[in-house]
Structure 1
Amino acid sequence: MATHFTRAERDWVMYDVGNSALVLLNTSVVPIYFNALASEAADSASLVAQWGLAQTVASLIVALLMPILGSLADFKGNKIKFFIGFFGAGLVACFAQAIPMSAALFLAVYVVATVGLNSSMTFYDAMLVDVTDDERMDDVSSAGFAWGYIGSTIPFVLCIALIFLGPALLGLDTMLCTQMSFVITGIWWLCFTVPLVCSYKQVHYKEGTGAGSEIAKTFRNLAGTMRDIVRDKKLFLFLVAFFFYIDGVHTVISMATSYGASLGIDSTQLILALLVTQFVAFPSAIVYGRLADKHGTLTMILVAVVAYCAIVLFASFFLKTDVEFWVLAVMVGLFQGGIQALSRSYFGKIVPKDKANEYFGFYDIFGRYASVMGTFLVSVITTLTGFAELGVLSIGILLVVGLVFLLRVIKLDAAERGEHAAA
């Protein structure tokens, strides 16, 4: 990691290293483990649909909670409390997944772990304005994604080695080795969270006089901020574009392994390919930030959205073999970190600086609500047609809609730049 980062910035980035380990486990090992638990009771299309439904439920819970809790967290001292609470709940559920249980119960525990993880990340995103300044925000934000990708591979490789070598070298059952991976990942997550909890200071906050007063102010602030967002045409259109295109990105990430397994691709190949995604994403996220400096943030976001449209088409019509899944993994790795980091950075540039916390709260709300649509769409289309390929193809609808709105944002941004240049 760059030595010029302050302690607060380093500790903030380190949390991404910790939570990304669970994200990687959830997108690789967990779907395969769930398929093994439920394979006798359901066909491949049904497994994809059930997994998509679980993702939808988890995202919906987060989306319903965050509008209120996110605004409450803006009051002095609250942000770290909410962060620790959801992190703790997610950590306990992560460890609980190591306990042998039925497929249905496992999905329920998985939902709790995912809610805890994603909610903690909402407060984590809002901490960015407290740990750094505007000039360094792009670098710190990109470093979070980049180091998260590469750092998460360490416990992941350990877990994979245990799963595939444990039975032969240690005489352990494969299912037991898989269950132990939840413990390893949970410990990793905990270790990289402690520094942030110890060093974090909430710099930007609202003053509150008590719980009742804070709740009342929360509802008033939410209503006022919503009106301000709608009145700012460029900001509103960007949020709508983000709402759709980031859903496509998240859905591709969350459903990739489950979809690959349904096509009969070997689980070893699925996991190794996703590991390659992490290594590709590490330098790509950093390079993508530098390209944004040269060609413009919106331009590079546009390139990534178009690339994801191509990725969805490739997955729907051409993905049949192990090699093709590896190609898909590399393609995702090239654009995954860049589109996430630059979306967060661009939003930070166009919001009112004195209300950054509230606006970032809405940014995360849009992202969480978006996570509901894609997985739900894949689940429904797959169930109705019986073809997982058509379910994956439906993700393209979200990306195209996001692309249309993004082009309008680019047009408005160019017009504003022209007006400033003329002035």
Structure 2
Amino acid sequence: MYDVGNSALVLLATSVIPIYFKSLADGPALVAWSYAETVASLVIALLMPILGSIADMQGMKKKFIVGTVGTGVVATVAMGFPTSAMAFLVIYVVSSIMLNSSMVFYDALLIDATTDDRMDEVSSQGYAWGYVGSCVPFIACLAVVLNTKSLGISLQTAMQVSFAITAAWWVAFTIPMLRNVQQTHYKPLQAHALRNATRGIGTTLRKIWADRGLRTYILSYFFYIDGVHTIIKLSTSYGSDLGIDGTQLVLALLVTQFVAFPSAIAYGKLGTKVGTKKMLLVGIAGYTFITLFAAFFLRTAREFWILALLVGLFQGGLQALSRSEFGKLCPKEHANEYFGFFDIFGKYAAIMGTFIVGTMTALTGNGSLGVLSIVVLFVIGFVLMLKTPDSRERAS
């Protein structure tokens, strides 16, 4: 249910919001948007290991979820009011930080909600229903944004309504998780938790680094998922700079959600049947092809539709199995602390990719070269994954 709730804002942030920001900005928006995403990711990367360690203590995971969701909802509603690009970006960064921080704590609840043998399927079901569920408020938002003239309202008013719908949906589908999922793996409550958590960062890093299998896995993840989230965050901004109609961009991404639903479920079942590692390799290879396609062939709305369909085939499954595989590899009583580092190494901290795209585009004046530059992230991730033992091999 929480995947259903938070995915509404994720979908809006990867489709309508960049296009709306372009209407507020002067000139090309890709560079400014890339750097804003980088700032948000850096803040999350700095905070999560510390907050994650505290959240591992008894009864703390859901408290952190309530705090980040509450702040994020307020920021989401507030995005509808600025009329300047800079003010909008500042509020968007706050909203993005809260959204993605809440997902870190939520991801760590996966090990409390199910067992290792069902983790691939449960994680995939979450992503799958998140894709479909997010379409409900998104379609309502589109109905408002695309019919401003007939409704007699401005684009800003339409966006205010859209942000309010998205925030309400996020809250509504957070409640079932808070009511029904209990934190069963935890560390005892400690005095001076913040000080101890800060001191414990080095210890956790040494534990991760000492575990060869976990070290190789998390490095692989660092590269390939950074590329995945770069594509998610910058696709509509890139398409908009190419001159593709905003309506075409949004509708194509909506189709991605429906394609991703069965694909994510299939990934979960195949991961259980043939091995999670094999399916992760398939997903990384698929995204390498997607990046090359975007750099060399994406010029019109038709190619963007093809790109959206390809992304739908691999996106949810790759994300879901990455989450479940790490959940099986990490120690359960330190899940939030480990997931904090997991998310630094790429899941929501798409630092390298957005920075590379923004810098290459700024230096060359060519967005295609900026997109092409992130292929290296997938290649490195693929090679490292080949060297990583999957969880079944570790268990045996």
TM-score range, shorter chain: over 0.9
> Pick from 224, 227, 247: which aligns with 1:248?
227
CA distance in 2, matches of 1:95, 1:353: 36
- Say if 1:146 and 1:337, in contact at 8 Å, map to a contact too: yes
Residue in structure 2 matched with residue 118 of structure 1 by the alignment: 100
Residue in structure 1 matched with residue 40 of structure 2 by the alignment: 58
After TM superposition, the structure 1 stretch with the greater mean CA deviation from structure 2, 353-362 or 243-252, is: 353-362
Superposed CA deviations along residues 346-400 of structure 1, whole A, max 9, x for unmatched, are 2222333454343333222323575111111111111111111111111111111
1:180 aligns to 2:180 (yes or no): no
Residue in structure 1 matched with residue 75 of structure 2 by the alignment: 93
Residue in structure 2 matched with residue 306 of structure 1 by the alignment: 285
CA distance in 1, matches of 2:24, 2:362: 20
Task: Report how far residue 180 of structure 1 moved.
Answer: 1.5
Residue in structure 2 matched with residue 36 of structure 1 by the alignment: 23
CA distance in 2, matches of 1:300, 1:369: 21
- Say if 2:31 and 2:358, in contact at 8 Å, map to a contact too: yes
The one-letter code sitting in structure 1 at the alignment partner of 2:142 is I
CA distance in 1, matches of 2:348, 2:169: 28
Residue in structure 2 matched with residue 322 of structure 1 by the alignment: 301
Residue in structure 2 matched with residue 279 of structure 1 by the alignment: 258
CA separation of 1:161 and 1:196: change in aligned 2, threshold 3 A:
same
> Pick from 191, 207, 228: which aligns with 2:188?
207
Residue in structure 2 matched with residue 9 of structure 1 by the alignment: none
1:19 aligns to 2:6 (yes or no): yes
CA separation of 1:179 and 1:253: change in aligned 2, threshold 3 A:
same
Residue in structure 1 matched with residue 360 of structure 2 by the alignment: 381
CA distance in 1, matches of 2:282, 2:206: 31
The one-letter code sitting in structure 2 at the alignment partner of 1:116 is M
SS in structure 2 opposite 1:152?
helix
> What is the correspondence of 1:106-145 to structure 2 with a 5 Å cutoff?
106-145=88-127
Residue in structure 1 matched with residue 320 of structure 2 by the alignment: 341
Task: Report how far residue 333 of structure 1 moved.
Answer: 0.3
Task: Report how far residue 166 of structure 1 moved.
Answer: 3.6
CA distance in 1, matches of 2:336, 2:349: 20
SS in structure 2 opposite 1:140?
helix
* Long gaps (5+) in structure 2: none
SS in structure 1 opposite 2:387?
helix
CA distance in 1, matches of 2:392, 2:55: 36
Q: For this pair of structures, how many residues does the alignment match?
A: 396
CA separation of 1:322 and 1:353: change in aligned 2, threshold 3 A:
same
- Say if 1:243 and 1:370, in contact at 8 Å, map to a contact too: no
CA separation of 1:288 and 1:36: change in aligned 2, threshold 3 A:
same
CA distance in 1, matches of 2:343, 2:391: 26
CA distance in 2, matches of 1:99, 1:356: 38
* Long gaps (5+) in structure 1: 1-13
> What is the correspondence of 1:347-358 to structure 2 with a 5 Å cutoff?
347-358=326-337
Superposed CA deviations along residues 46-91 of structure 1, whole A, max 9, x for unmatched, are x100000000000001111111011011112222221111111111
Task: Report how far residue 262 of structure 1 moved.
Answer: 0.5
Greater than 6 Å deviation, 4+ residue runs: none
CA distance in 2, matches of 1:177, 1:94: 14
CA separation of 1:234 and 1:156: change in aligned 2, threshold 3 A:
same
- Say if 1:83 and 1:120, in contact at 8 Å, map to a contact too: yes
SS in structure 2 opposite 1:66?
helix
Residue in structure 2 matched with residue 6 of structure 1 by the alignment: none
- Say if 1:19 and 1:189, in contact at 8 Å, map to a contact too: yes
TM-score (norm 1): 0.89
Superposed CA deviations along residues 97-125 of structure 1, whole A, max 9, x for unmatched, are 11142111000000000001001111111
Superposed CA deviations along residues 121-146 of structure 1, whole A, max 9, x for unmatched, are 11111111222222332222111100
TM-score (norm 2): 0.95
> Pick from 125, 149, 155: which aligns with 1:167?
149
CA distance in 2, matches of 1:355, 1:199: 21
CA distance in 2, matches of 1:357, 1:182: 29
1:148 aligns to 2:159 (yes or no): no
- Say if 2:30 and 2:358, in contact at 8 Å, map to a contact too: yes
- Say if 2:80 and 2:156, in contact at 8 Å, map to a contact too: no
CA distance in 2, matches of 1:188, 1:414: 36
Task: Report how far residue 205 of structure 1 moved.
Answer: 1.3
Residue in structure 1 matched with residue 50 of structure 2 by the alignment: 68
CA distance in 2, matches of 1:183, 1:414: 42
> Pick from 207, 216, 239: which aligns with 1:228?
207
CA distance in 2, matches of 1:100, 1:331: 35
Q: Highest relative contact order (Cα 8 Å, sep 6+), 1 or 2?
A: 2
Residue in structure 1 matched with residue 59 of structure 2 by the alignment: 77
The one-letter code sitting in structure 2 at the alignment partner of 1:320 is R
CA distance in 1, matches of 2:316, 2:221: 15
- Say if 1:273 and 1:326, in contact at 8 Å, map to a contact too: yes
CA separation of 1:83 and 1:18: change in aligned 2, threshold 3 A:
same
